[in-house]
Structure 1
Amino acid sequence: MKYIKLTEQYAKYIALIELNRPNELNALNLELMTELKQTLAELDNNNDVRVIILTGNERAFAAGADIKQMANKSAIDMLKIDQFSTWDQIKKTKKPLIAAVSGFALGGGCELAMTCDMIIASETAQFGQPEIKIGVMPGAGGTQRLTRAIGKARAMEMVLTGKFISADEALSFGLVNKVVPVEMYMHEAVSVASSIASMSPVAAQLAKEAVNRAFETHLEEGLHFERKNFYLAFASEDQTEGMQAFIEKRKPNYKGE
C-alpha cells in the first residue's frame, strides 16, 4: 500500500491504520481514500481484529483534501468522480473505529475524524472546516456531523469563517473524547481500544450500531432499534459467557461468537 500503513496486530485484537502522505500533511487524495476503504473492509472481515485505530502523524492527522486534484474540475467532473462514495465504507465499518489525532485535522481531515466513533486528541490538535476560504464548503459530512457534535452556533462559526479550534476547545465542545500530551496520544488511543477489545465483539458492534442510529432517527424508532439489538445479543455465545462469568465472579473469555 502506498498511502497508508497497516499494522494488523498493533496490540491484541487492535489494528492500526496510519495515513502516509507526510510531505502533503496527509492530504486526502482519491488513491489514499480508496486504499482506506479497502483496508477497512478487509479489517471488518478479520476475526482477529476487534477495534481499529486510525491515525496520521504528530504534525497532521490529515490537513484536508488534495486541492490539486480538484482545482480544475467542473461540477460534472466532480459528479462523475463521486469521490465521497468512498466515505460510505468508513460509515459502514461495523467494528469500533477510533481516531488518534495530532496536529492538523482540517477540512476532509476533520470530517474523517468525525466519521470515527471516538476521537483521542493530542494537545497540539487543531480542528477546522476551512473550505469557505477556497470558495467551496464541506462535502464529506462537515456541515452535518460537526453541527450534531458541537451545535448550530459553533458549527456555523467554523464553517462560515473557516476558524480552527484547539484540542481543548474541541473537548469542551464535545467533539473529542480526551486530550492528552502529544507523546501520549497514541498510548491513550491504544488504552481505550484495549478496553473495548476486552468486551464482547458481538455486543460492541450491536451497541455501536444502536448509538449511531440515535443520530439518524426519532426517539421512538431509535428505542425500537435498540431493543431489537439487545434481544439479538442473546443469540450470541458471548452473552452466555459474559453472564456466566459475572455469576461465577471471573473474567469472561469472549470469542466474538
Structure 2
Amino acid sequence: MSAERLAVAETGDRVVVTLDRPATKNAIDAEMVAELHAVCHRLEQDPKPLIITGGSEIFAGGADIGQLRERRNVDALAGVNSAVFDRMAALPMPTVAAVAGYALGGGAELAYACDFRIGTPSVRFGNPEGGLGILAAAGASWRLIELVGEPLAKEILLAGRTLNADEARDVRLLNEVVEPDDLLATAHRWVDRILRNAPLAVRMTKLALQMPRSAHPTFDNVAQAVLFETAEKDRRMTAFLDRKKEKA
C-alpha cells in the first residue's frame, strides 16, 4: 500500500500505520483521509489487527485547519473525517492506537475510534473545536460519552478540558501508559495478545460488542452457531482437554 501522508508497514499478521506529516504535527487533511480509506479497504479484504501511531513525539494535532476553513455545508454533510473514523472503528479485527504527545480535535477522534489506546506520559487528549467555531463532529460528541461517561465528556467538549496521560489512564481512555521508547513495542504486545485467540472468534466478538442491545441474544446465538462448526474450535478445545488430562 503506497502512501504519501502515511507510512504503512504490513507483516504476515498485522499492519502498522504511521501518520507522517511532521511539519504539520500530523494534521489530518483530505489526502490523509483518502489514504486511511485505502488502508481500511485493504483490511476489510484481508482482516488483520491494525496499529496506528504518529511516532514517539506526537499523535495528531487535529484536522488541517487550512482545509477545514474552506469547507462548507456540503463538505460537512459528506462527513469527510467521520466516515473514515467510523470505517476504522468497524474494521473486522481490533485496532490499537499508540499515542504520544498531543491527540487533539480530529487526532483525538481518530484515537477514540480505535479499540485500544496505549500512551506515553506526554499524552494530551482534547477537543478544542468549539474555540474554532465548530463542533467535534467526527465521533467525539457520542463516542467520547461511551468511552468516559457523559460528565467528563461534557468537560472536554463544552469546557475545553484536556486530559493528561494519568487522567486518561484513570478513566480507561488509555489502556496503558509506557515510556516513549516502549510505545510501539507495547502496541505490538497487545496485538500479540489479541492474536492468541482464534481470529474468527475475535471478529465475532468485536461484532457482538458493536451490536445494539436489541440484537442480543439473537446475534450471539447465531455467531456462536457459526463458531461451533469451525475446525479451530475443535482443535483448541481438544488441546485444552488434552492438557487437562496431562495434569490429572
TM-score, normalised to structure 1's length? Answer: 0.88
Match of 2:4 in 1: 2
Name the SS of the counterpart of 1:23 in structure 2: helix
Cα distance, 1:53 vs. partner? 0.7
Distance 1:181 1:88 in 2: 29
Cα gap change, 1:117/1:77 in structure 2, threshold over 3 Å: closer, same or farther?
Answer: closer
Match of 1:255 in 2: none
* Contact map agreement 1:98 1:120 (CA 8 A) in 2: yes
Distance 1:153 1:80 in 2: 29
Cα gap change, 1:76/1:196 in structure 2, threshold over 3 Å: closer, same or farther?
Answer: closer
* Contact map agreement 1:25 1:59 (CA 8 A) in 2: no
Overall identity of the aligned pairs, in %: 30
Match of 1:253 in 2: none
Pairing partner for 1:248 from 239, 242, 246: 242
Cα distance, 1:204 vs. partner? 0.7
Q: Which runs of 5+ in 2 are unaligned?
A: none
Pairing partner for 2:198 from 197, 200, 208: 200
Cα distance, 1:80 vs. partner? 5.2
Letter in 2 for 1:140: A
Cα gap change, 1:247/1:210 in structure 2, threshold over 3 Å: closer, same or farther?
Answer: same
Q: Which runs of 5+ in 1 are unaligned?
A: 251-257
Pairing partner for 1:239 from 204, 219, 233: 233
Per-residue Cα deviation, 1:175-201 (whole angstroms, up to 9, x for no partner): 121111222121111111011112211
* Contact map agreement 2:16 2:50 (CA 8 A) in 1: yes
Pairing partner for 1:67 from 65, 68, 79: 65
* Contact map agreement 2:57 2:100 (CA 8 A) in 1: yes
Cα gap change, 1:80/1:6 in structure 2, threshold over 3 Å: closer, same or farther?
Answer: closer
Name the SS of the counterpart of 2:9 in structure 1: strand
Structure 1 residue runs of 4 or more that deviate by more than 4 Å after TM superposition: 80-83
Name the SS of the counterpart of 2:138 in structure 1: coil
Per-residue Cα deviation, 1:113-133 (whole angstroms, up to 9, x for no partner): 111111111111111111011
Per-residue Cα deviation, 1:128-185 (whole angstroms, up to 9, x for no partner): 1110111111011101011111111111011012221011101111212111122212
Name the SS of the counterpart of 1:248 in structure 2: helix
Counting matched residue pairs gives 242
Name the SS of the counterpart of 2:63 in structure 1: coil
Pairing partner for 1:161 from 155, 159, 162: 159
Query: What value does the CA root-mean-square deviation take over the aligned residues?
Result: 1.8
Match of 2:143 in 1: 145
Residue 18, structure 1, aligned to residue 18, structure 2: yes
TM-score, normalised to structure 2's length? Answer: 0.91
Residue 28, structure 1, aligned to residue 28, structure 2: yes
Distance 1:113 1:83 in 2: 13
Name the SS of the counterpart of 2:26 in structure 1: coil
Match of 2:97 in 1: 99
Cα gap change, 1:145/1:81 in structure 2, threshold over 3 Å: closer, same or farther?
Answer: closer
